[in-house]
Amino acid sequence: MDYRVKEKDGAFYAPKIDIQIEDALGREWQTATIQVDLVMLPERFDLTYVDENGEEQRPVAIHRAIYGSLERFIGVLTEHFAGAFPFWCAPVQAVVVPIADRHIEAATELAEVLRSRGIRVEVDESSNRMQNKIRLAQEQKVPYMLVLGDREIEARTAAPRTRAGEQQPPQDWDGLADRLKAEADARRPD
C-alpha cells in the first residue's frame, strides 16, 4: 500500500493514521481516522488499570472516527459514480414498468421472481404514462427498466432497458433473474 507522511499534520497528543481518498474531481477527503491517545482521554476520564505488579497504570487509548467517516465515504462514492452506482451496489437495481394497470399483477409477479434471486426491485404502480415511468427511473439512475405489456406477459419475457437507453433482447423471467443475479455477484465496477 502506498502511503505518505504529512509533516506537522498529526495530532498534538499522539500519532494517528488518516485514510484519505480522492474523489472524481481530484479532491482528497479524510474517510477514517485511527488515533493513539496517550493523554487526552485516559486523563480526562481518569482511566487506570492494575498491572501484573498490582500497581495502577494509565492506559493508552486507541480511538477511531467511524460515523462521520462512513458518511463521508458514502458521499464520495455517490459523487464518484455521479449517482449511477454499479449494478451490484445500486440501491434499486431494476424497476418493473407495467404499461397499464391491468399489467400490475404480472409486474408484481416478475418482481417476486427477481427478489427471490436477491435483486433489489421496485414496481412502478403510478398512474404516469410508460415513457414518464422510464424517464423517472433513468433520472434516478436505476440500472435496468423492465417494461411489461400484454405480449411480454403472455410470453413471460422482459426486455431490459439500461439506464443509458440501450434496449436488450427479451429473456424469460427466470433466465433474466439468473442473469441479473450473476451480474450482481460479479461485482464489476461498471
pLDDT in tens, 151-170: 999 999 999 999 999 999 99
Tens-place pLDDT, residues 98-144: 999 999 999 999 999 999 999 999 999 999 999 999 999 999 999 99
DSSP letters for 110-156: HHHHHHTTT--EEE--SSS-HHHHHHHHHHTT-SEEEEE-HHHHHHT
Report if pTM > 0.85: no
Q: Which domains, ranges and CATH numbers included, belong to the chain?
A: 16-80 (no CATH), 87-186 (3.40.50.800)
**H or E element: which one contains 64?**
strand 61-65
